[in-house]
Chains A and B, each alone.
Chain A
Amino acid sequence: MLALVGTVPDLRFPLVHGAVGWRDGAPTVDGRKLPVHRGTPALVAAAAAASRCLDGPEVYAFLAGDVGRGDGSRELYRFLARRLPEFPFDVLTFHYLQPDVDWHNKVLFAVEEMKRRPVLVADAGFMYAAKMSGQAPAYDFFTPDAGELAFLADEKAPHPFYTRGFVLHGSNDVPRLIRRAYEHRNAAAHLLVKGEKDFVANEGGILGTVDHPSCEAMEAIGGTGDTLTALLSVLCGAGFDAEEAAAAAARANRLAGCLADPTPATQVRELIERIPQALGRVLKGASTQVADGVVP
Protein backbone atom coordinates (compact mmCIF):
# COMPACT_ATOMS: atom_id res chain seq x y z
CA MET A 1 0.00 0.00 0.00
CA LEU A 2 1.17 3.52 -0.87
CA ALA A 3 0.53 6.44 1.49
CA LEU A 4 0.61 10.11 0.54
CA VAL A 5 0.96 12.86 3.15
CA GLY A 6 0.27 16.54 2.53
CA THR A 7 -2.00 19.53 2.81
CA VAL A 8 -5.07 20.89 1.05
CA PRO A 9 -5.22 24.67 0.46
CA ASP A 10 -8.48 25.10 2.36
CA LEU A 11 -8.61 26.19 6.00
CA ARG A 12 -11.91 24.36 6.55
CA PHE A 13 -10.50 21.01 5.42
CA PRO A 14 -10.09 18.84 8.55
CA LEU A 15 -7.45 16.22 9.20
CA VAL A 16 -8.60 13.12 7.34
CA HIS A 17 -7.04 9.83 6.39
CA GLY A 18 -8.21 6.87 4.40
CA ALA A 19 -8.10 5.01 1.11
CA VAL A 20 -8.36 7.29 -1.92
CA GLY A 21 -11.63 6.90 -3.83
CA TRP A 22 -12.93 8.57 -6.99
CA ARG A 23 -16.22 10.43 -7.48
CA ASP A 24 -17.40 12.63 -10.36
CA GLY A 25 -13.93 12.95 -11.83
CA ALA A 26 -12.16 13.89 -8.60
CA PRO A 27 -10.37 11.96 -5.87
CA THR A 28 -11.98 11.52 -2.46
CA VAL A 29 -10.55 10.73 0.97
CA ASP A 30 -12.81 9.80 3.86
CA GLY A 31 -15.77 10.88 1.72
CA ARG A 32 -14.36 14.36 1.00
CA LYS A 33 -13.82 15.43 -2.57
CA LEU A 34 -10.46 17.06 -3.35
CA PRO A 35 -10.36 20.05 -5.70
CA VAL A 36 -7.52 19.26 -8.11
CA HIS A 37 -5.52 22.32 -9.05
CA ARG A 38 -1.98 21.61 -7.90
CA GLY A 39 -0.18 20.64 -4.72
CA THR A 40 -1.07 17.52 -2.78
CA PRO A 41 -4.57 17.13 -4.32
CA ALA A 42 -2.83 16.88 -7.74
CA LEU A 43 -0.42 14.30 -6.28
CA VAL A 44 -3.35 12.26 -4.95
CA ALA A 45 -5.30 12.46 -8.22
CA ALA A 46 -2.28 11.50 -10.31
CA ALA A 47 -1.38 8.59 -8.02
CA ALA A 48 -4.94 7.29 -8.10
CA ALA A 49 -5.01 7.53 -11.91
CA ALA A 50 -1.65 5.78 -12.26
CA SER A 51 -2.47 3.03 -9.81
CA ARG A 52 -5.82 2.27 -11.48
CA CYS A 53 -4.08 1.94 -14.82
CA LEU A 54 -1.43 -0.41 -13.40
CA ASP A 55 -3.77 -2.33 -11.16
CA GLY A 56 -1.13 -1.15 -8.74
CA PRO A 57 -0.92 -0.48 -5.02
CA GLU A 58 -3.87 0.77 -3.01
CA VAL A 59 -3.45 4.52 -2.45
CA TYR A 60 -4.00 5.88 1.05
CA ALA A 61 -3.76 9.55 2.05
CA PHE A 62 -3.24 11.66 5.18
CA LEU A 63 -4.42 15.23 4.59
CA ALA A 64 -5.13 18.44 6.49
CA GLY A 65 -6.15 21.95 5.48
CA ASP A 66 -3.34 24.54 5.50
CA VAL A 67 -2.88 27.80 3.61
CA GLY A 68 0.60 28.52 4.93
CA ARG A 69 0.03 29.30 8.59
CA GLY A 70 1.29 25.85 9.45
CA ASP A 71 -1.53 24.83 11.79
CA GLY A 72 -2.86 22.05 9.53
CA SER A 73 0.68 20.80 8.93
CA ARG A 74 1.41 20.65 12.66
CA GLU A 75 -1.83 18.77 13.29
CA LEU A 76 -0.79 16.28 10.65
CA TYR A 77 2.75 15.97 12.05
CA ARG A 78 1.34 15.36 15.53
CA PHE A 79 -1.02 12.67 14.24
CA LEU A 80 1.72 10.91 12.25
CA ALA A 81 4.23 11.00 15.10
CA ARG A 82 1.68 9.15 17.25
CA ARG A 83 -0.07 6.83 14.82
CA LEU A 84 2.26 6.05 11.90
CA PRO A 85 3.71 2.85 13.47
CA GLU A 86 0.22 1.29 13.27
CA PHE A 87 0.17 1.32 9.45
CA PRO A 88 1.72 -1.20 7.03
CA PHE A 89 2.82 0.90 4.08
CA ASP A 90 5.22 -0.17 1.34
CA VAL A 91 5.81 3.40 0.18
CA LEU A 92 5.37 6.61 2.14
CA THR A 93 5.46 9.91 0.25
CA PHE A 94 5.65 13.27 2.04
CA HIS A 95 4.65 16.40 0.16
CA TYR A 96 3.34 19.94 0.82
CA LEU A 97 3.87 20.42 4.56
CA GLN A 98 5.14 23.45 6.42
CA PRO A 99 8.89 22.77 6.81
CA ASP A 100 9.49 22.18 10.52
CA VAL A 101 12.64 20.37 11.60
CA ASP A 102 11.44 19.33 15.07
CA TRP A 103 8.23 17.83 13.77
CA HIS A 104 10.07 16.27 10.84
CA ASN A 105 12.35 14.46 13.28
CA LYS A 106 9.42 13.20 15.36
CA VAL A 107 7.77 11.80 12.24
CA LEU A 108 11.02 10.15 11.16
CA PHE A 109 11.27 8.50 14.59
CA ALA A 110 7.74 7.19 14.08
CA VAL A 111 8.78 5.77 10.69
CA GLU A 112 11.63 3.91 12.38
CA GLU A 113 9.06 2.29 14.67
CA MET A 114 7.03 0.89 11.77
CA LYS A 115 7.14 -2.93 11.57
CA ARG A 116 8.50 -2.77 8.03
CA ARG A 117 10.33 0.31 6.84
CA PRO A 118 8.61 1.71 3.73
CA VAL A 119 10.30 3.27 0.74
CA LEU A 120 10.47 6.94 1.75
CA VAL A 121 9.87 9.66 -0.85
CA ALA A 122 10.06 13.35 0.04
CA ASP A 123 9.09 16.28 -2.14
CA ALA A 124 8.12 19.94 -1.60
CA GLY A 125 8.13 21.35 1.94
CA PHE A 126 8.84 18.05 3.64
CA MET A 127 11.94 17.63 1.49
CA TYR A 128 13.10 21.05 2.70
CA ALA A 129 12.64 19.96 6.31
CA ALA A 130 14.42 16.65 5.63
CA LYS A 131 17.45 18.51 4.26
CA MET A 132 17.46 21.09 7.05
CA SER A 133 17.31 18.32 9.67
CA GLY A 134 20.51 16.70 8.36
CA GLN A 135 18.55 13.46 7.86
CA ALA A 136 18.43 13.49 4.05
CA PRO A 137 20.25 10.13 3.67
CA ALA A 138 17.39 8.45 5.59
CA TYR A 139 15.20 8.91 2.49
CA ASP A 140 15.05 6.78 -0.63
CA PHE A 141 14.03 9.56 -3.00
CA PHE A 142 14.01 13.33 -3.25
CA THR A 143 12.41 14.87 -6.35
CA PRO A 144 13.76 18.45 -6.65
CA ASP A 145 13.56 20.84 -9.58
CA ALA A 146 16.52 23.03 -10.56
CA GLY A 147 15.88 25.68 -7.88
CA GLU A 148 15.38 23.06 -5.18
CA LEU A 149 18.47 21.13 -6.28
CA ALA A 150 20.52 24.32 -5.82
CA PHE A 151 19.09 24.53 -2.29
CA LEU A 152 20.09 20.91 -1.58
CA ALA A 153 23.54 21.64 -2.98
CA ASP A 154 24.00 24.70 -0.75
CA GLU A 155 24.99 23.28 2.62
CA LYS A 156 24.29 26.61 4.33
CA ALA A 157 20.85 27.42 2.91
CA PRO A 158 17.97 26.82 5.38
CA HIS A 159 15.38 27.25 2.59
CA PRO A 160 15.52 27.72 -1.23
CA PHE A 161 14.82 31.43 -0.62
CA TYR A 162 18.29 31.75 0.95
CA THR A 163 20.26 29.75 -1.60
CA ARG A 164 23.53 31.55 -2.21
CA GLY A 165 23.94 33.25 -5.57
CA PHE A 166 27.08 31.39 -6.61
CA VAL A 167 25.27 28.07 -6.20
CA LEU A 168 22.03 29.22 -7.80
CA HIS A 169 23.90 30.80 -10.66
CA GLY A 170 25.09 27.36 -11.72
CA SER A 171 21.65 25.78 -11.58
CA ASN A 172 21.96 24.72 -15.21
CA ASP A 173 24.92 22.53 -14.26
CA VAL A 174 22.80 19.77 -12.74
CA PRO A 175 25.58 17.13 -12.44
CA ARG A 176 27.74 19.55 -10.42
CA LEU A 177 24.88 20.39 -8.07
CA ILE A 178 24.06 16.71 -7.62
CA ARG A 179 27.68 15.99 -6.67
CA ARG A 180 27.68 18.88 -4.23
CA ALA A 181 24.41 17.77 -2.61
CA TYR A 182 25.86 14.28 -2.01
CA GLU A 183 29.20 15.64 -0.78
CA HIS A 184 27.41 17.49 2.00
CA ARG A 185 25.01 14.58 2.72
CA ASN A 186 22.02 16.67 1.72
CA ALA A 187 20.55 14.21 -0.77
CA ALA A 188 18.40 11.10 -0.47
CA ALA A 189 19.68 7.69 -1.60
CA HIS A 190 18.29 8.59 -5.04
CA LEU A 191 17.51 11.89 -6.66
CA LEU A 192 15.04 12.35 -9.48
CA VAL A 193 15.76 15.88 -10.69
CA LYS A 194 13.00 17.26 -12.88
CA GLY A 195 13.69 19.77 -15.62
CA GLU A 196 14.32 20.22 -19.31
CA LYS A 197 16.24 16.96 -18.94
CA ASP A 198 15.34 14.71 -16.00
CA PHE A 199 18.26 13.18 -14.08
CA VAL A 200 18.28 10.01 -11.99
CA ALA A 201 21.24 9.89 -9.63
CA ASN A 202 22.64 8.32 -6.52
CA GLU A 203 25.80 8.86 -4.51
CA GLY A 204 27.83 7.17 -7.23
CA GLY A 205 26.78 9.69 -9.86
CA ILE A 206 24.26 10.07 -12.67
CA LEU A 207 22.45 6.80 -13.36
CA GLY A 208 20.52 8.05 -16.36
CA THR A 209 18.73 10.92 -18.00
CA VAL A 210 15.37 11.27 -19.71
CA ASP A 211 14.81 14.05 -22.19
CA HIS A 212 12.15 12.63 -24.44
CA PRO A 213 9.42 13.44 -25.28
CA SER A 214 9.88 17.12 -24.61
CA CYS A 215 7.33 19.92 -24.39
CA GLU A 216 8.87 23.20 -23.39
CA ALA A 217 5.60 24.58 -21.97
CA MET A 218 5.55 21.97 -19.19
CA GLU A 219 8.07 23.98 -17.20
CA ALA A 220 5.48 26.69 -16.65
CA ILE A 221 2.64 24.40 -15.62
CA GLY A 222 2.05 24.22 -11.88
CA GLY A 223 1.70 20.63 -10.68
CA THR A 224 3.88 18.76 -13.19
CA GLY A 225 6.32 18.00 -10.37
CA ASP A 226 3.42 16.67 -8.28
CA THR A 227 2.39 14.29 -11.06
CA LEU A 228 5.99 13.08 -11.42
CA THR A 229 6.24 12.34 -7.70
CA ALA A 230 2.90 10.51 -7.90
CA LEU A 231 4.10 8.32 -10.76
CA LEU A 232 7.38 7.56 -9.00
CA SER A 233 5.56 6.61 -5.79
CA VAL A 234 3.09 4.32 -7.55
CA LEU A 235 5.84 2.57 -9.52
CA CYS A 236 7.88 2.03 -6.35
CA GLY A 237 4.72 0.62 -4.75
CA ALA A 238 4.22 -1.67 -7.73
CA GLY A 239 7.61 -3.28 -7.10
CA PHE A 240 9.83 -1.52 -9.61
CA ASP A 241 13.38 -0.96 -8.42
CA ALA A 242 14.44 2.62 -7.79
CA GLU A 243 16.18 3.30 -11.07
CA GLU A 244 13.46 1.68 -13.22
CA ALA A 245 10.72 3.47 -11.31
CA ALA A 246 12.39 6.86 -11.71
CA ALA A 247 13.07 6.45 -15.43
CA ALA A 248 9.56 5.17 -16.19
CA ALA A 249 7.98 7.92 -14.08
CA ALA A 250 9.95 10.59 -15.92
CA ARG A 251 9.02 9.19 -19.33
CA ALA A 252 5.34 8.78 -18.47
CA ASN A 253 5.10 12.26 -16.98
CA ARG A 254 6.66 13.82 -20.06
CA LEU A 255 4.41 11.82 -22.35
CA ALA A 256 1.27 12.72 -20.37
CA GLY A 257 2.28 16.35 -20.70
CA CYS A 258 2.90 16.16 -24.42
CA LEU A 259 -0.36 14.28 -25.01
CA ALA A 260 -2.18 17.26 -23.50
CA ASP A 261 -0.63 19.42 -26.26
CA PRO A 262 0.21 21.98 -23.61
CA THR A 263 0.71 25.71 -23.67
CA PRO A 264 2.13 27.67 -20.71
CA ALA A 265 -1.52 28.26 -19.70
CA THR A 266 -2.45 24.57 -19.50
CA GLN A 267 -3.62 23.38 -16.08
CA VAL A 268 -2.34 20.17 -14.49
CA ARG A 269 -5.76 18.50 -14.51
CA GLU A 270 -5.40 18.12 -18.29
CA LEU A 271 -2.14 16.21 -17.79
CA ILE A 272 -3.57 13.95 -15.12
CA GLU A 273 -6.28 12.83 -17.55
CA ARG A 274 -3.52 11.58 -19.88
CA ILE A 275 -1.60 9.60 -17.25
CA PRO A 276 -3.26 6.21 -17.84
CA GLN A 277 -2.58 6.37 -21.57
CA ALA A 278 0.98 7.63 -21.09
CA LEU A 279 1.90 5.16 -18.36
CA GLY A 280 0.37 2.28 -20.32
CA ARG A 281 2.51 3.11 -23.33
CA VAL A 282 5.71 3.55 -21.35
CA LEU A 283 5.29 0.26 -19.51
CA LYS A 284 4.56 -1.61 -22.73
CA GLY A 285 7.82 -0.24 -24.08
CA ALA A 286 5.87 1.37 -26.91
CA SER A 287 6.99 4.48 -28.72
CA THR A 288 6.77 7.69 -26.78
CA GLN A 289 7.02 9.67 -29.99
CA VAL A 290 4.43 12.41 -30.05
CA ALA A 291 3.45 14.20 -33.24
CA ASP A 292 1.18 17.18 -32.86
CA GLY A 293 0.10 15.93 -29.48
CA VAL A 294 -1.12 12.57 -30.81
CA VAL A 295 0.57 9.29 -30.04
CA PRO A 296 0.86 7.31 -33.25
Chain B
Amino acid sequence: MGPPPEIRTGCDLVVEFPLVEELNVLRELDNADIPPLRVVPVSAPLLEPVSLFHVKDFGTCIMVRAANMKITVEKESLVIVNVSGGGCPDVPYLAAELTGKTLEEAPAPKELGHTLCGYALQLAYEEVRRQCSP
Protein backbone atom coordinates (compact mmCIF):
# COMPACT_ATOMS: atom_id res chain seq x y z
CA MET B 1 0.00 0.00 0.00
CA GLY B 2 1.20 3.55 -0.73
CA PRO B 3 0.95 6.48 1.68
CA PRO B 4 -1.66 9.27 1.37
CA PRO B 5 -0.77 11.85 -1.34
CA GLU B 6 -0.09 14.60 1.22
CA ILE B 7 3.01 12.80 2.46
CA ARG B 8 4.05 10.75 -0.58
CA THR B 9 7.64 11.36 -1.66
CA GLY B 10 8.37 8.53 -4.11
CA CYS B 11 7.96 4.77 -4.22
CA ASP B 12 7.10 4.62 -0.52
CA LEU B 13 5.72 1.72 1.43
CA VAL B 14 3.16 2.37 4.14
CA VAL B 15 2.28 0.12 7.06
CA GLU B 16 -1.03 0.71 8.82
CA PHE B 17 -1.39 0.03 12.57
CA PRO B 18 -3.70 1.13 15.41
CA LEU B 19 -2.56 4.67 16.15
CA VAL B 20 -2.85 4.34 19.89
CA GLU B 21 -0.10 1.67 19.85
CA GLU B 22 2.37 4.04 18.19
CA LEU B 23 5.03 3.86 20.90
CA ASN B 24 5.03 0.06 20.90
CA VAL B 25 5.20 -0.13 17.10
CA LEU B 26 8.01 2.43 16.86
CA ARG B 27 10.04 0.50 19.43
CA GLU B 28 9.60 -2.75 17.46
CA LEU B 29 10.63 -1.08 14.20
CA ASP B 30 13.65 0.55 15.85
CA ASN B 31 14.69 -2.80 17.33
CA ALA B 32 14.46 -4.30 13.83
CA ASP B 33 16.58 -1.43 12.49
CA ILE B 34 13.84 -0.22 10.13
CA PRO B 35 12.64 3.04 11.69
CA PRO B 36 9.85 4.71 9.68
CA LEU B 37 10.37 7.97 7.81
CA ARG B 38 7.19 9.35 9.35
CA VAL B 39 4.23 8.26 11.44
CA VAL B 40 0.92 9.98 10.66
CA PRO B 41 -2.75 9.45 11.55
CA VAL B 42 -4.67 7.97 8.60
CA SER B 43 -7.61 10.32 9.19
CA ALA B 44 -5.43 13.45 9.05
CA PRO B 45 -1.93 12.77 7.67
CA LEU B 46 -0.69 16.29 8.22
CA LEU B 47 -1.18 16.24 11.99
CA GLU B 48 1.98 16.41 14.06
CA PRO B 49 2.63 15.21 17.62
CA VAL B 50 2.29 17.87 20.29
CA SER B 51 5.31 20.07 20.73
CA LEU B 52 3.92 22.55 23.22
CA PHE B 53 4.87 22.11 26.88
CA HIS B 54 3.29 23.71 29.92
CA VAL B 55 5.74 24.14 32.78
CA LYS B 56 4.61 24.94 36.33
CA ASP B 57 6.99 25.75 39.16
CA PHE B 58 5.71 24.73 42.61
CA GLY B 59 8.83 25.99 44.39
CA THR B 60 10.28 22.72 45.58
CA CYS B 61 8.91 20.84 42.57
CA ILE B 62 8.53 21.41 38.86
CA MET B 63 5.72 19.98 36.73
CA VAL B 64 5.75 19.59 32.93
CA ARG B 65 2.65 18.83 30.89
CA ALA B 66 2.80 17.49 27.33
CA ALA B 67 -0.65 17.03 25.76
CA ASN B 68 -2.62 15.08 28.38
CA MET B 69 0.34 13.87 30.49
CA LYS B 70 2.04 15.51 33.47
CA ILE B 71 5.21 14.61 35.33
CA THR B 72 6.37 16.30 38.55
CA VAL B 73 9.93 16.23 39.88
CA GLU B 74 11.36 17.46 43.16
CA LYS B 75 14.02 19.94 42.10
CA GLU B 76 16.66 19.24 44.73
CA SER B 77 16.62 15.43 44.78
CA LEU B 78 15.42 15.01 41.14
CA VAL B 79 12.96 12.38 42.40
CA ILE B 80 9.84 11.90 40.27
CA VAL B 81 7.12 12.52 42.84
CA ASN B 82 4.00 12.24 40.67
CA VAL B 83 2.75 11.27 37.22
CA SER B 84 -0.78 12.29 36.28
CA GLY B 85 -3.19 12.64 33.39
CA GLY B 86 -3.59 10.30 30.45
CA GLY B 87 -6.16 7.67 29.66
CA CYS B 88 -4.45 4.63 28.15
CA PRO B 89 -3.84 1.60 30.38
CA ASP B 90 -0.05 1.95 30.44
CA VAL B 91 -0.31 5.25 32.32
CA PRO B 92 -1.02 3.81 35.80
CA TYR B 93 1.65 1.18 35.13
CA LEU B 94 4.23 3.78 34.06
CA ALA B 95 3.31 5.97 37.03
CA ALA B 96 3.96 3.09 39.41
CA GLU B 97 7.30 2.32 37.73
CA LEU B 98 8.54 5.92 37.69
CA THR B 99 7.25 7.48 40.90
CA GLY B 100 9.74 7.54 43.76
CA LYS B 101 12.77 7.13 41.49
CA THR B 102 15.23 9.82 40.45
CA LEU B 103 15.42 10.97 36.84
CA GLU B 104 18.65 8.97 36.57
CA GLU B 105 17.25 5.76 38.08
CA ALA B 106 13.84 5.76 36.43
CA PRO B 107 13.36 3.96 33.13
CA ALA B 108 12.42 6.22 30.21
CA PRO B 109 8.68 5.93 29.50
CA LYS B 110 9.44 4.89 25.92
CA GLU B 111 11.12 1.73 27.24
CA LEU B 112 8.05 0.51 29.11
CA GLY B 113 5.09 2.30 27.53
CA HIS B 114 3.01 1.12 24.60
CA THR B 115 0.58 3.88 23.72
CA LEU B 116 0.32 7.50 22.66
CA CYS B 117 -0.19 8.48 26.30
CA GLY B 118 3.11 6.72 27.03
CA TYR B 119 4.65 8.67 24.17
CA ALA B 120 3.29 11.97 25.53
CA LEU B 121 4.75 11.07 28.92
CA GLN B 122 8.11 10.42 27.21
CA LEU B 123 8.03 13.96 25.78
CA ALA B 124 7.16 15.44 29.18
CA TYR B 125 9.93 13.34 30.75
CA GLU B 126 12.50 14.62 28.22
CA GLU B 127 11.40 18.20 28.82
CA VAL B 128 11.55 17.90 32.62
CA ARG B 129 15.05 16.42 32.30
CA ARG B 130 15.99 19.41 30.19
CA GLN B 131 14.46 21.81 32.70
CA CYS B 132 16.32 20.13 35.58
CA SER B 133 19.69 19.87 33.87
CA PRO B 134 22.37 22.20 35.26
> Which A residues are within 8 Å of any B CB, using their own CB?
7, 9, 37-41, 66-70, 72-73, 96-100, 123-128, 145, 147-148, 151, 156-165, 168-169, 171, 216-217, 219-225, 263-267
Contact = CB atoms under 8 A, between A and B. Distances in A.
Contacts of A223: 84
Contacts of A148: 68, 85, 87
A168 B50 contact: yes
A181 B17 CA distance: 27
A78 B14 CA distance: 30
Interface in B69-85: 69-70, 72, 74, 81-85
A156 B93 CA distance: 29
Interface string B82-108: 111111111111111001000000000
Contacts of A157: 44, 47
Interface in B24-70: 24, 41, 43-44, 47-52, 54, 56, 58, 60-61, 63, 65, 67-70
A267 B115 CA distance: 24
A160 B118 CA distance: 12
A223 B91 CA distance: 11
Contacts of A169: 52
Chain B interface residue count: which class?
A: 35 or more
Q: Chain A binding site: helix, strand, loop or mixed by DSSP?
A: loop
A161 B60 contact: no
A162 B47 contact: yes
B88 A168 contact: no
User: Which applies to chain B's interface (DSSP): helix, strand, loop or mixed?
Assistant: mixed
A100 B18 contact: yes
Interface of B: 18-22, 24, 41, 43-44, 47-52, 54, 56, 58, 60-61, 63, 65, 67-70, 72, 74, 81-96, 99, 113-120
B68 A100 contact: no
A68 B118 contact: yes
B47 to A, nearest CB: 5
A67 B70 contact: no
B116 A161 contact: yes
Contact of B49 (A38, A41, A162, A225): A162
Contacts of B65: 147
A257 B61 CA distance: 18
B95 A161 contact: no
Contacts of B70: 219-220, 222
B106 to A, nearest CB: 15
B58 A68 contact: no
Given A37-B92, A124-B87, A221-B84, A162 B63 contact: no
A181 B55 CA distance: 25
Kindly name the residue among A168, A265, A267 whose own CB sees the greatest number of chain B CB atoms within 10 A.
A265
A160 B68 contact: yes
Given A158-B43, A161-B119, A67 B68 contact: no
A270 B82 CA distance: 13
Nearest to A266: B82
Given A100-B18, A264-B81, 4 more contacts: A67-B90, A220-B81, A221-B84, A265-B72
B88 A99 contact: yes
B88 A68 contact: yes
B70 to A, nearest CB: 7
Nearest to B81: A265
A67 B93 contact: yes
B44 A99 contact: no
B89 A68 contact: yes
B89 A7 contact: yes
A225 B69 CA distance: 12
Nearest to B94: A68
The 7 A-B residue pairs with the shortest CB-CB distance in the complex, in nearest-first order: A68-B90, A39-B92, A124-B87, A68-B114, A222-B84, A265-B81, A9-B93
